[in-house]
Amino acid sequence: MGKATTSSFPRQAEHDIDPVYLNRWSPRSFLDKDVPEELLWSLLEAARWAPSAYNLQPWRFIIARTPEDRERFYTFISEFNLSWCRKAPVLVLMLSQRVSERGENFSHAFDAGAAWGFLALEAVRKGLITHPMTGFDMKKARETLGVPDEYAIQALIAIGYQGPREALPEELREREQPSQRRPLDSLVYEGMFGQKPAGRK
C-alpha cells in the first residue's frame, strides 16, 4: 500500500495524495462576510479550465452575490437549506448545456462535475468553503432565473468563509464535520464488474 496522507481534519488517505483533497468538505456554517470579487472570479477561473468532451465546456454559472439576487434565489431553496445558507455571501447555480452544435451532448453532466471539482478545490486553496446542494425546486429555479430548456440544472453551490459550528441551528451542529469515505478496495474493480483488482487483499 502506498504512503498515506493526513489532513488537518481526522481524515487519512490510503495512498499519497495532495492534502487539498482531504481538506475539502462541505460545511454549512458561513460567516456574514463578503467574498472579494477577485477571489470569487479565481474560483470560476479554475472551473473554466476543467476538461470536457470535444472541449465543448458545457458548464454555465449564474451567480447571486447582491442581497436582491440572493433573495431571488431564496424563493426556490428548500426550508432546510435556507436554515443555514442564508449567511452564505455567494450562491451559484450550476448549469450544463445538453445540446451543442454537434448535437446532443451525452457527457454534459460529467463535464460539469469536473468543473465543480476544480472550483471546490480552488476554494480550499483560497481559504473559502463551498457546499453544493440539490435541495431546491429546480423547476421554479428555471422559471425564476430564465434558464433555457437546453440547459440542465445541476446544483446550487454556497460559497463563503467558514463560520463556527455554534452558529448553526442545534440540529445541524453534530453534522458539521468532515465525512469519511468508503475503502478504496470497495470502489474499484478490474477487468469486469465485481472483480477485485489483482494483488489486492
Mean pLDDT of the chain: 93
pLDDT, tens only, 114-143: 999 999 999 999 999 999 999 999 999 999
CB 30 within 8 A of CB 87: yes
- In angstroms, the CA 180 to CA 69 distance is 34
Cα distance from N-terminal residue to C-terminal residue, the chain: 10
Cα angle 131, 133, 135 (rounded to 5 degrees) comes to 145
Kindly state whether residue 12 falls inside one of the protein's structural domains. Answer: no
Q: Give pLDDT, residue 1.
A: 47
Kindly state whether residue 133 falls inside one of the protein's structural domains. Answer: yes
Confidence of residue 190 (pLDDT cuts 50, 70, 90): confident
In this predicted structure, the answer to whether residue 6 has a pLDDT above a threshold of 90 is: no
**% of the chain residues with pLDDT over 90:** 78
Domain span at residue 81 reads: 26-164+174-186
Kindly state whether residue 51 falls inside one of the protein's structural domains. Answer: yes
pTM of the entire structure? 0.92
Least confident of 37-46, 82-91, 191-200: 191-200
The residue ranking higher by pLDDT, 131 or 15, is 131
pLDDT, tens only, 49-92: 999 999 999 999 999 999 999 999 999 999 999 999 999 999 99
Q: Which residues pair with 91 in a beta bridge?
A: 64, 158
Q: Give pLDDT, residue 11.
A: 87
Kindly state whether residue 59 falls inside one of the protein's structural domains. Answer: yes
Kindly state whether residue 192 falls inside one of the protein's structural domains. Answer: no
| CATH of residue 139 | 3.40.109.10
Domains in the chain, number: 1
Kindly state whether residue 131 falls inside one of the protein's structural domains. Answer: yes
Cα 120 to the chain's mean position, in Å?
A: 6
pLDDT, tens only, 105-119: 999 999 999 999 999
What is the average pLDDT across 160-173? 92
Kindly state whether residue 10 falls inside one of the protein's structural domains. Answer: no
- In angstroms, the CA 123 to CA 129 distance is 6
Kindly state whether residue 62 falls inside one of the protein's structural domains. Answer: yes
